[in-house]
Chain A
Amino acid sequence: MTTSPPEPPVSSPAGTLGTDARLSLTGVQPGEPAFDDHRPPSAELVSDCVHCGFCLPSCPTYVLWGEEMDSPRGRIYLMNEGLQGEPMTDSMVEHFDACLGCMACVTACPSGVQYDHLITATRAQVERRHERSRADRALRSAIFALFPYPRRLRALRGPLRLHQRTGLSRLLRRSGLLERLSPQLASMEALAPRLGRPQPVPERVAARGTRRGTVGMLLGCVQREFFPGVNAATARVLAAEGFDVVAPAGQGCCGALSGHSGREAEARRFARELIDTFESTGVETVVVNAAGCGSAMKEYAELLADDAAYADRARGFAARVRDVSELLAEVGTVAPRHPLPVTVAYHDACHLSHAQGVRRQPRELLRGIPGLEVREIAEGDLCCGSAGVYNLLNPEPARELGDRKARNVLATGADLLVTANPGCLMQVASALERAGTALPMAHTVEVLDASIRGRSPDVFGADRRRETG
């Protein structure tokens, strides 16, 4: 039996700090080398970089600013400086923080540099050893006290729905008030999707037709609370494809947001709990429908490598993780598809394409639907700016990237935008809204679900675009 993970108290982080500003919170002395011995970025991996620069144009921040220190090559250089004894200065951290962690550079690198491992290790050091400004600390603590906890997100649903329905939301956005008070808060408000009714996934869903196996299903945090339709669709599609679906109710956060933000201890705690939860179900495969979660879970082996009790289990667990599109492509689909006459633009979520290398499978699944046309988005490898909680921490570059993505999406002329990550959906939706358009959006499995169930594309509001323009 699994239990709900304990949630740490929600305290005002700013309030818990000492008043003496001279006191170092991290215990790191000024001038000390940037990294300590606890898992610094690997010097060996750093030395794999041959400085060819092929990563530059793939990097969103280099695309935006054209500056070396905000490119992967420059960031690796900064890591190397740190390894050589340079202290962790504000300017150094600024460039690590500006990295979206989209991993497009990993795809682009001909020398196989594992930037993903490098930046993860660097971020963990930054979180432990760098003293952030009070406001920054408060924001980060607030984010991480909220997002990895589905129950807290749920508590937010009521007020948020009210806020959106009463038109207060539109009023607030138009006034620009929030923007002036806090751009971070404004982006958080703007990103919140329009909430539908909750659709909880039962703990067990039985396979339809010939049974082909049993899979576990990750419900996610944001996915579960803000996009319940995606989880419901995932369970239905898996069942229709012959799988018994086990979705343990007590499951917590996978730790993706924490891990990708350098909150290593927190990420490890979440990972251990999730491993416990799914191991107790005995499932062979754990299916994930959120790209960021899937990529984090596939990294559990490294995350828990030095945890004697979990290292082996983490490796085994990571090997069983599959994105839902990956699994379906692997086993082949059997459920009959009904025609779905709609033109979709498929957006690669970075954590699916760059981090997990899953590009072909979702496209193939979509193309397998009669009547459906898939269009490619220009600059498809470029991040939309969502990047976990990046858009909350770095609203300006995130917005620029979001606007750029929205333009490219609209240029496809598609009726529906399809992607596999809740963060991307929220990010692109808010960018489209800024552009004064509303393009219907769906997760890949929602499209498969609609086809299997013989629904019309109208379920996505795919006809709305034509009305609005």
Chain B
Amino acid sequence: MDTDVLAARLRALVGDAAVITDRQRLRTYECDGLAQYRVVPAVVVLAASTEDVAAVVRECAAQRVPFVARGSGTGLSGGALPHADGVLIVMSTMRRILEVDRDNQRAVVEPGVINLQLSDVTRADGYYYAPDPSSQQVCSIGGNVAENSGGAHCLKYGFTSNHVTGLELVAPTGEVEQIGGKAPDAPGYDLLGALVGSEGTLGVVTAATVRLTRTPADVRTLLAAFPGTDQAGAAVSAVIGAGVIPAAIEMMDALAIEAAEAAVQCGYPEGAGAVLIVEIDGPASDVQQVFEEVEGHCRAHGAFEIRIAADDAERALFWKGRKSAFAAVGRISPDYIVQDGVIPRTALPEVLSSIARLSAESGVRVANVFHAGDGNLHPLVLFDDSVEGESERAEEVSGAILDLCIQHGGSITGEHGVGSDKAKYMPRMFTDDDLDTMQLVRCAFDPSSISNPGKVFPTPRLCGERPGRHQGVHPLAEAGVAEVF
């Protein structure tokens, strides 16, 4: 459809101010947190309400125009990468906290609400929103739902999927659906389960009902410095093996520490080849006992310095180094790839030495940050785009790391999603039958294949034509970018 006509129709639906077609403005939306992938959208709509979103999606469905939802644009897999002929629906303008139901430990929020802001608002009442991606100060809850985001404390508290009990969804046909609610579990198919982590391919979330978690009575945090990642990894296995579930166990290697020091001066122990941040929370008496146990395991596996956060300020400093690690790598390298893979925890030493070997052979530096407790690796592959061939080499190393994860029975993404970036790796993990089954689910929601097309699945495919539903060839098929499923 002609962009001017589309824009004019959208303006009539949501108002002039909410529709952007100016090229320079459009370009500021051309990428998310993974800036290597860029596509200028045809139109950007700044959504103000569920009605806005429904109206835009209905128009898109009627014209078979693709649309992509975008939250804060911090995604690291190109999930919010716009479609050149499509509408980018910006949700960061829908950011009201609609309800805090303290007694039932629920909050109802618009999708653009920033993760940390929900905790800030509920903390005074003794509650917080538990999933804590490192980007929590900026990422949106809608984006978290779409990516099933996790964070350091998800080891104990679970990922986003464990904290969403209801969603309001504008389905790709434009209908507004209420799925779930405040109750912990709805009868019938677990549609919430399908929606959380669907990366915007099943519609646009316009409200989410989420759990609020009681702030723990006591929190203790330690920072343990080890000579290297082997010793630190062994300590992690010992802790988990002993049946202890800390709120978080995070690991950083020497290069990641160097970057964090450069960025936020977190003052980690000098000479550390790896650090662990271990946090224990719960009732005070339990915390004390578990904490001593953890400390013992760390010492037994070679920790040469253990610091215990004396107060919230020191705890914040421990975490600051870890939480800023990705972006901090910008201080030691002009460009980098944030990789995200999962391995069984016990494979950690082996995978790490393989990564080290890959790095040595290719001359590409790799910094490592992990959610060590659940085997979620974040290797940061460093390169300089201005040097001929470096980005290709980095890309190769990064892909080889995913192969390592698969070989060890892990996964190609722990929390950042498949998006545009990893769609090509899906066949390494799944058979064609697996992918077809997923496609069936997708077609049930999105028969026109207009909701964030081109993401997640390796070959963009259109759902089989249904009689009487559409006329003519789908524009994506016509353009040769997708085939009919």
Q: Which residues of A contact B (CB under 8 A)?
A: 47-48, 50-54, 56-57, 65-69, 73-74, 77-78, 81, 86, 89, 91-92, 95, 109-112
Contacts and interface: CB of A to CB of B under 8 A. Distances in A.
A77 B32 CA distance: 12
B331 interface: yes
Given A48-B330, A66-B95, A111-B327, A56 B72 contact: yes
- Give the 7 A-B residue pairs with the shortest CB-CB distance, closest first: A111-B330, A110-B327, A110-B324, A74-B28, A51-B35, A66-B93, A66-B92
A68 B28 contact: yes
B441 to A, nearest CB: 30
Given A52-B135, A56-B72, A81 B27 contact: yes
A5 to B, nearest CB: 39
Nearest to A90: B22
Interface string B20-45: 00111101110111010000000000
A41 to B, nearest CB: 15
B324 A81 contact: no
B264 A54 contact: no
Contacts of B33: 51-53
A111 B328 contact: yes
A47 B72 CA distance: 20
27 contacts: A48-B330, A51-B35, A52-B33, A52-B138, A53-B33, A53-B73, A53-B74, A53-B138, A56-B72, A57-B117, A57-B138, A66-B93, A68-B29, A68-B92, A69-B25, A69-B28, A77-B27, A89-B24, A91-B22, A91-B24, A92-B24, A95-B25, A111-B263, A111-B327, A111-B330, A111-B331, A112-B262
Nearest to B336: A50
Given A54-B135, A67-B93, A78-B24, A112 B330 contact: yes
Interface in B427-453: none
Interface residues of B, number: 37
Interface string B110-144: 00101001000000000000000001011100000
Given A65-B93, A66-B112, A54 B24 contact: no
B334 interface: yes
Interface in B233-283: 262-264
Given A50-B35, A57-B114, A68 B73 contact: yes
Interface residues of B: mostly helix, strand, loop or mixed? loop
B383 interface: no
Contacts of A68: 28-29, 73, 90, 92
Given A57-B114, A57-B138, A50 B27 contact: no
A44 to B, nearest CB: 9
B34 to A, nearest CB: 8
A54 B330 contact: no
A57 B93 contact: no
A81 B93 contact: no
Interface in B282-321: none
A270 to B, nearest CB: 33
B331 A56 contact: no
A81 B28 CA distance: 9
A10 to B, nearest CB: 37
Given A56-B72, A66-B95, A67-B93, 10 more contacts: A54-B137, A57-B114, A66-B112, A67-B46, A68-B29, A77-B28, A89-B24, A95-B25, A110-B263, A110-B326
Contacts of A91: 22, 24-25
A109 B263 CA distance: 9
A110 to B, nearest CB: 4
